[in-house]
Structure 1
Amino acid sequence: MNLTTLKKGFFITFAAYMLIGMHYFQHNSGGSGLHLPFNVIGWIFISALIGIGLWQVTLQGKLVYSRLSLIFIAATLLMLMPLLYADPVVASISYTRLFGLVGGLLFFIALQQLQLNQQQRLILLYLILGAVFVEAVFSLVQYYLLPVNNMVGYQKIANRPYGIFQQPNVSASFLTTGIALALYLLTQTELAEKNKRLFCYVTTFMAVIPVVLLQSRTGYLSLLIAPLLLLPWVCQQLRESDRLKCLAVWLACYFTGILIGAYGLVTAEQAVKSAAYLTDPGARVPIYLHSLAMWLEKPLLGWGYGSFEVAYLHSYSQALNQGLALPGSPENLDHPHNELLYWAIEGGLVALAGIALLVIGFLRIIVKQPLWQALALLGLVLPLVLHSQTEYPFYHSIVHWVVFLTLIWYIASRYGNTKTLEFNYTFLLRTLALLIPLVTGAFMLTTLHTNTLLTQYERSDRSDITPLTKVVNPVAWITRLEFNAMMYRLQIAMYNNDIAELNNYIDWANEISQKTPRANIYINWSRALAKLGQQQAAEQLLQQTIIMYPNNKLVQRFAASQADTTRSQ
């Protein structure tokens, strides 16, 4: 296999990310996006891959594109349009998501510039399978070997082996994608390539066990449906090359993994709990019903980018108070656990039109294939697509976004056509090829530094605010940092009866609650009003807080304490 130096650099960077970078662990306070260190590291690698792809354009003097990449560009522009009429107060909340969308587009375009042949494309798929193997091993170590008090903070009592992802469903969709990929790759091996087939068998066996142990409904559906979509075509392909024995071995690994995982649940006395869990729809029913009602209320332009959390909180609490919504939706909901609903609510039909373009562009490639092959290609992406309709994997884990785009690129490159356009603006592209990795790398490394300081502060007694004063890059954590700093200042103001600082907290609480409302902010806001002697305003705010957070124990305790104080007076 002849590769240019630049292409070798791309493969090495991609391999380093899949086999090392994406598994990076650092203690953190949870969350999604850049709040999780492995995502921060991920963007460093992705920016480097984008830079290599842009530099490749300057070397070959032409831009490689396809119908799908043009559709991707058009869809991205459509999905950015709602920014033009978004409320600037909350629009900033959507910026990270939109940066991720644009970053994904650039990564997709970078992949196309390499013009890889089929053998080279398969190397990228095997590297993804390698990442799945590492995560499967990590998950099994968590479940079977880690002690209760372990240095990576794994919750041994719950014992749902999520690997690096810190969330069982996210881990399950990643592993099931690997299982489907392993089955597909069996059809792409030659008779003499025994090591590749062995790798597919072992990875399938290793990945199936933690998927069962994770007790993820989305994971179980993907574990069942994705192989079913692939099996007819795989069977057809292997029969033609007299390799049906390979499929038999894969199926043996698949079912043996299921049996071992099920045995692990039974011996851990979690089988009954698992059955009850699988039949419980949970909070998604009230979330979906009210989210759909919100979209139908403003179907064309939506509620505005960045507004979901605050709009949902006020809309749902009001509907619940009037008996117009089902109870059970969690508080502080910043995503409706369905990607289509999310874009529909915030961006309306404009944003949905962008997603529809992408779906149509992809399906145009799929429908041109024979039926069984088309179903097999859908099976490759099904775990990630299915998960995006029940949660938000692409925000929780950037590697899910990278893997999804790589699979889409692979299918488009393998079964579609590309064209070239002469492109001689080398200075601009080379500047971007250097700046994007450098700027992104600097930003992400300082974000990791901020994560370290914030985690250090939040795991202390919070009496010493010194770690927060050392923050260099607050961007990714700005709300959390503001909350901690304002809480610290409020405590001092309450003790010293500092009127100016109390008013400052009230102004901040009023502003932040329009973007990121939290029950404890409202409680402290009410406390500050009461300290200033504004009892009526404090009581009104408390009543509003009770309506918004009817099941919050902190709110209930505070309301009870206020009632006791009133009675004693």
Structure 2
Amino acid sequence: MVIVLFVSIFISLCLYIPSSGGQGVYFPFNLVMVGIYGIAIIMLWRSSNKRRVVNPQPFIKLGYLLLLLPWLVSVQRSPGVIILLLAGVALWLLSRVSIRAGSKKKILQAIFVLALVECAIGLIQTFLPNLALHWFEYNWLRNQGRPFGIFQQVNLFGSFLATGMGCGFLLLVQEKRALLRRSYVCGLCLMAFILMLNQSRTGQLGAILIIILLALLFTFQEPSRVLASISPMLVCALAGVWVVHHITVNVDGQLYTLGRDYSASTHIRMNILKVTWQMIMDKPWLGWGYGAFSAQFTRYMAAHPELNPGHLGGWIPHPHNELLFAWFQGGVIAFSGVVLLVLGWLKNMVLALQKGKLAAGYSLLIIPLGVHLNLEYPFYQSFFHLGVFVLLLRLGMVESAVNWESVERYKTGKIGSLVATVSAVVLVGYSAIGLYTNAQLTHYERVGLADFPATLPWYFYTQPRRAEFDSMVALLVDYNVTHQEADLSRFMVWSAQWIKRNTDTNVLLSRIMIMRYRGDIRGAQEMQHLYDVIKSPVQQGPRG
């Protein structure tokens, strides 16, 4: 069963499924992971039914509950909390399973191999643009040659490579066989090279931190091995930097370099953090609520022109810092939850150090994804990253001592087994139906929503917001043919509610045109001001 799970993940990290982008369940790769996690639930339940060895730290339990509870109250407006709930269930199940040293090593090897697979995809995307366009719909010019693997986002790719480097380095320092050591070094060198091509500062910072910390942890124990591995990694990283700034790639007959400028991105991020902090100070206790950050942020910017809205670079779905995001949405309760989670990890780190360097090394492995949480928003874009984070968090937990001869076997009963089975079936079924829905909606979107069904099929409700959006835009397409005023009226009623919780320039532009057509000059001016705030001089949001 474990082999089936690994093969499923391996295949999902190799095959591109056509889509229109997005995040959460609108991204087909995430839907695939939902189905795989359904299979994992059955495996974990059966394993947890045998022996219970570990309890998460109390800080982690309490912090998770504080983060979860205010979000659950807003589940209808922000259904992403369901994924967080599933992640908590997964961590609880993992905490009931003893993971022996050999199994931990195999898990690290699996992550390392998967990272190497993504490296191969990254090489294709950077140096073979025509092939990448055919296999992965990778637009070299739009991404400036920066590979994003299967994740459709450069920082997700960078952070996963950094995580793979941490796993590979920890494997290297405990490996005794020379051939495997050389293999790990080669893999680490490739990852360092690709990470420089990727140019994700988030990924690079995560990689630097995890390698330095692990090196400091093991230098006195294995000095020659540590130095012998870091040196070629550094050489390959420098080679990647040289390639970025000196090698050109032929795209449609034109030569382009890979280098990019970070100044605009840095300025944008600082503005985002400044405005987010100001909004938090306006409502520090209860927060602004869940599910409408982008709309609230944009309206706040429109009402406060002194905050320099002209340099924010487009609509902002997230402040790029999970601590601030939790505080912004859920107030001090959610903020306290995140703080307690961090304290729980730090406490476990102390316990791991007391147990030994290897245990401490396992506790450090979540650092690249932890860095990503403070600079990006990975778990909303990639359920795979969330699963890896939960798994590595569990690997870093110090297990209580167990007498393997006399350990008590826990019986969970038929009800628990039924709940686990039903949950797994629901997740796998939702994954399959959601993937079919994605294929249908992607087809309609790519043909301009022609012949979009007037009545939504039942399976479209696996992606309700996307289907709702497409159906309303289809009304405008239909109006261009039929000129039925009822289509415009339905769109205006719907879009008035939509823009309260979503920032979409196309919807705003359509409302402006309809208002002008109907003579609502004042309303059109208000929408135009909001549109101008979003469409700032830097047309793309922060990507690096």
Q: In the alignment, does 2:83 pair up with 1:114?
A: no
Question: Partners of 1:328 and 1:32 in 2: how far apart?
Answer: 24
Residue 304 of structure 1 is matched in structure 2 by: 289
Question: Cα offset for 1:358?
Answer: 1.3
Question: Cα offset for 1:551?
Answer: 5.3
* Aligned partners of 2:244 and 2:257 also within 8 Å: no
Residue 265 of structure 1 is matched in structure 2 by: 244
Distance change (3 Å), C-alpha of 1:331 and 1:542: farther
Distance change (3 Å), C-alpha of 1:442 and 1:76: same
Question: Cα offset for 1:379?
Answer: 4.6
Alignment of 1:182-221 (within 5 A): 182-189=168-175, 191=176, 193-221=177-205
Q: In the alignment, does 2:11 pair up with 1:20?
A: yes
Question: Cα offset for 1:294?
Answer: 0.9
Gaps of 5+ in 2: 250-255, 538-544
Name the SS of the counterpart of 2:19 in structure 1: coil
* Pairing partner for 1:313 from 298, 301, 325: 298
Residue 252 of structure 2 is matched in structure 1 by: none
Question: Cα offset for 1:296?
Answer: 1.0
Alignment of 1:314-463 (within 5 A): 314-320=299-305, 323-325=306-308, 327-370=310-353, 373=357, 376=361, 379-413=364-398, 424-463=411-450
Question: Partners of 2:230 and 2:391 in 1: how far apart?
Answer: 26
- Give the % identical residues: 24
Question: Cα offset for 1:326?
Answer: 5.1
Question: Partners of 1:135 and 1:418 in 2: how far apart?
Answer: 38
* Aligned partners of 2:348 and 2:363 also within 8 Å: no
Alignment of 1:172-251 (within 5 A): 172-189=158-175, 191=176, 193-239=177-223, 244=224, 246-251=225-230
Q: Which has the larger radius of gyration?
A: 1
Residue 80 of structure 1 is matched in structure 2 by: 68
Residue 283 of structure 1 is matched in structure 2 by: 268
Letter in 1 for 2:440: L
* Pairing partner for 1:516 from 502, 509, 514: 502
Distance change (3 Å), C-alpha of 1:53 and 1:378: closer
Letter in 1 for 2:302: S
Name the SS of the counterpart of 1:315 in structure 2: helix
Of 170-179 and 223-232, deviating more is 223-232
Residue 21 of structure 2 is matched in structure 1 by: 30
* Aligned partners of 2:31 and 2:434 also within 8 Å: yes
Superposition RMSD in Å: 3.0
Question: Cα offset for 1:187?
Answer: 2.4
Distance change (3 Å), C-alpha of 1:123 and 1:505: same
Question: Partners of 2:533 and 2:307 in 1: how far apart?
Answer: 17
Letter in 2 for 1:132: A
Deviations 1:438-473 (A, max 9, x none): 11111111111111112112222433325x868543
Question: Partners of 1:307 and 1:64 in 2: how far apart?
Answer: 41
TM-score (structure 2 length as normaliser): 0.87
* Aligned partners of 1:295 and 1:345 also within 8 Å: yes
Deviations 1:143-179 (A, max 9, x none): 2234265232112332111111111111111101111
Question: Partners of 1:401 and 1:417 in 2: how far apart?
Answer: 28
Residue 521 of structure 2 is matched in structure 1 by: 539
Question: Cα offset for 1:72?
Answer: 3.7
TM-score (structure 1 length as normaliser): 0.84
Letter in 2 for 1:12: I
Name the count of aligned residue pairs: 523
Deviations 1:187-215 (A, max 9, x none): 222x2x33432332122012111100011
Question: Partners of 1:432 and 1:65 in 2: how far apart?
Answer: 22
Question: Partners of 2:39 and 2:96 in 1: how far apart?
Answer: 14
Letter in 1 for 2:229: W
Distance change (3 Å), C-alpha of 1:295 and 1:361: same
Question: Partners of 2:468 and 2:212 in 1: how far apart?
Answer: 49
Letter in 1 for 2:147: P
Distance change (3 Å), C-alpha of 1:497 and 1:409: same
Q: In the alignment, does 2:36 pair up with 1:45?
A: yes
Distance change (3 Å), C-alpha of 1:471 and 1:397: same
Deviations 1:326-347 (A, max 9, x none): 5322443221111111111000
Distance change (3 Å), C-alpha of 1:493 and 1:417: farther
Letter in 2 for 1:452: A
Residue 560 of structure 1 is matched in structure 2 by: none
Question: Partners of 2:14 and 2:455 in 1: how far apart?
Answer: 30
Deviations 1:211-252 (A, max 9, x none): 00011122222233321112122212214xxxx2x3343224
